[in-house]
Amino acid sequence: MLEKELSLDYFRREGFKRYKCKKCGAYFWSTVPRDNCTEAPCGEYKFLREKMFDREFEVEDMRRYFIDFFKSRGHTPVKRYPVVARWRDDVFLVNASIYDFQPHVTSGLVPPPANPLVISQPCIRMVDVDSVGKTGRHLTGFEMMAHHAFNYPENQVYWKEETVAYAMELLESLGIKREDIVLKEHPWFGGGNAGASFEVIVGGLELATLVFMNLKESENGPIEIDGVKYEEMPIKIVDTGYGLERFVWMSKSTPTIYEAIYPEMLEKLMELTGVEKDRKEDEVLQLLAYRSPKIEELGERGFMEYFIKEAGITSSYYLEKIVPIQKIYALADFTRSLSFMLTDGIIPSNIQAGYLARLLIRRSLNILKEFGEPISLYELIEMHVNRFRDIMDVTMLPIIKEEIELEEERYDKTLGKGTEIVKRLIKKKKKIEVDDLILLYDSHGLLPDIVQRIAEKSGVKVEIPENFHSLVAKRHEKSEKKGKKEKRTYELPSTRALYYENPYMKEFESKVIKINGNELILESTAFYPEGGGQPCDTGFIEANGEKYKVKDVQKYGGVIVHYLDNIPKLREGEVVRGQIDWERRERLMRMHTAEHVLLAACRRVLGKHVWQHGTQKDVYESRFDIAHFKPVTRDEIKKIEKEALKIITSCVEVKAQFMSRREAEDKYGFVLYEGGIPPGKEIRVVKIGDFDVEACGGTHVKNTGEIGFLKIIKTERIQDGVSRITYTSGMSALEHVQEEEDTLIDAARKINAPLDKLVNKIESLVEERKELVKSLEKEREKNLTVIIQELLHSSENGSVISLLDLDTKSMQKVMRILSEKLNRVILISREGHIMVWDRGGNARVFAAKIASAMNGKAGGRKDFAQGKGDPKLIEDGLTAARECVGSR
């Protein structure tokens, strides 16, 4: 397949020939004969030994050079997308530039933002997290420079020939000699698409990938790749990816990629930690990077044994001199990835993308602790954000500072309780396995190194997988598939949605299209079907003097189905009259619009990181979940309500219109997808002045003034990183306030206080109660003293058996004093509680016998035991007690 797909006229014209690598077996194209594809480990990192670029680049310079190169060749620059893939529901983080255009553009649903285009897209890939710092080349965060072209049947932009020509022209413009360039054939697949590709190898390093995406997954497709079947798709997409950081590294030929992209950060960290790096360390680190591709065939441990021998160093030298430097490399990389994630609004948590952010935070904190915390994690992130402020949002720093401080506090608590958690697990299982390590991290945030140290103190050996964090990250990279609505298809025209044309329509007439039992499909309807967290409308359908209650309304594709309370006596083609339960609809319209207002108010008060996490509207009260890093305080609730009221009383127009997805995204960005990602080429956009804009299919009032009033009922933390706000609006809000007021008035009446003096009266009553409790406690103590004296007086041979009318706490006090003075004490309360003290060590046996006589159970120590039995069998218990002490 690849030979046919990738045998280009360009190669014949420019003197390239096809060869087969004698090491890996892959085919490649080169202008000079070769035995191998040159990509390490088949070849070596030649660029570390000799200069291949004719100049050095900083990150910003290289990005600008790439974009300008393609801009001058007819490509439109496109602004980078967030690293959190808010326009997708299958993944959390952007792994490649093509993620920006999947699925809507690649499926042909919407046009691209420009065609052709050039972009430099920040990406986060956690799959190599365990290798970062160690190999000299792996990163968790990187920028994928890319040019894309979308070829439609009616509009061919460019395809394989031009793509390869652009790559060669770019590389040669940087000073790279053509004979040093190899194009390695490779099948590519991902995200439901596939195609042939070239990996562009220079000096042993893959600098770019040129993918010719022309296939899509198909159950019966004629082409099979890696066990998956594909078929041709009408769009042919040029999907390229050029590694910005790799270009910079090659231009500088530094010992590792980290010196190339984080020079200032590394210098600062070396200074603060006291870690030194001289020429010898540079040579060792460069050799390590040079040989690092062998890690793929040897594994991490095997590679380290090989490398130490190859470098002519000792294990102690490696551990003392090289490992600390590698940890500084990892810290620089982790904190830059965090900077991208946090400035793009990801909230550290134990769910979704927040989980991956927390993983990096805790790994970074662990490294900092090992160095004695010479600088705070926030300061490192702040350095990155300021350094890369051209592509990071510096205004997010105050929010990030608070997030990081909270995460540090949580991590310290985790470390504090970690010892006991691990000890309990060891006591139960006598060992710690890989699944235990993952569970301890997932559930308690305990890093495997910490678990290992705690376990080894208890004599239990723990093996940490080399790729532990990669395994953990992989579990959390993709979104779980949610339960979907029942799928139905109807061979019918789409129902005309009158509720969009006029959301204030209360009655309508329409023709019957189909009847199936109690299911009714009309040509048009004003009944809103359930969707987007908004319940359906209810009401009635009338025809021929009959009235049917509409109890549910659902939408399947474009067809709206009304579920009636009875099977209707109707015929297809007959005209019926629909009547909406208007009070219900009006309340839901106000409630739904109020939710948009509430989101805008939350953003103003809590910060622009706030993102809708879930919602459910109802007639009387609704819930609204938001991503936020801490509980919402009472003071913040009041501020949110004030901001919401400002928007409401401003009587801002609520404008709803259908727009093409591309036009909407270009105009408003991905904030559109607050409430989820609606399907279709066109989306309905609801805009409330400059306060809020979302893709939303619900019904709304025409202007915010119609909401009238919004009241937050309560807030609660429903999961890590998510707060739930329960609110109400309009008439429902008034009813709620009136009910609360009735409660206050009733409370004031019951304690005989004016409403404005209610708090003072309650405080007074609380103080009176405290005094009464103190007085009662004194009396109780006096009473217990009398009881104790009587029991001591009635004891025989150092023993006492008694039935007491006391609560458990009081019985315990009596027992504590008596046990100091007597040899044996047996107490039974009227509620059936049993307590036994026996200096001779028979307490457990006696308690069990007494409890058994009372159809109960008991347990405890040899000298003290407790139990509970049936209060109706107290006399039997007392008899058993007397038998225990040998007296009847």
pLDDT digits (tens, 9 = 90+) for 591-629: 999 999 999 999 999 998 998 888 888 999 999 999 898
What Rg, from alpha-carbon coordinates, does the chain have? 36
The DSSP letter of residue 629 is S
pLDDT at site 634: 94
The C-alpha angle with vertex 51 and arms to 45 and 55, in degrees rounded to 5, equals 130
Strand ranges in 622-675 using DSSP code E only, listed in sequence order: 622-627, 654-660
Structural contact between residues 141 and 336, judged by C-beta atoms closer than 8 angstroms: yes
Q: How far apart are CA 695 and CA 683, in angstroms?
A: 6
pLDDT at site 119: 96
Name the pTM for this structure.
Answer: 0.80
CB count in 10 Å sphere of residue 115: 16
Q: Write out the two tokens for 325.
A: 């430097």
SS (H, E, C) 716-760: EEEECCEEEEEEEEHHHHHHHHHHHHHHHHHHHHHCCCCHHHHHH
pLDDT at site 554: 94
pLDDT at site 538: 96
Look at residue 800 and give its three-state secondary structure: strand
118 sits in which H/E element: strand 117-124
Q: How far apart are CA 471 and CA 474, in angstroms?
A: 5
Q: How far apart are CA 631 and CA 306, in angstroms?
A: 51
CB count in 10 Å sphere of residue 276: 11
> 352-370 vs 397-429: helix axis angle to the nearest 10?
80
pLDDT at site 283: 87
Q: How far apart are CA 244 and CA 141, in angstroms?
A: 11
Structural contact between residues 41 and 297, judged by C-beta atoms closer than 8 angstroms: yes
pLDDT at site 247: 97
Q: What are phi and psi of 636, to 5 degrees?
A: -70, -35
Look at residue 153 and give its three-state secondary structure: coil
> DSSP letter string over 499-538?
HHH-TT--EEEEEEEEEETTEEEESEE-PPPSBTTBPPP-
Residue ranges in the chain whose pLDDT is less than 70:
1-2, 442-445, 466-467, 469-486, 675, 887-888
pLDDT at site 312: 87
Q: Write out the two tokens for 3.
A: 């030979």
Amino acid present at 765: L
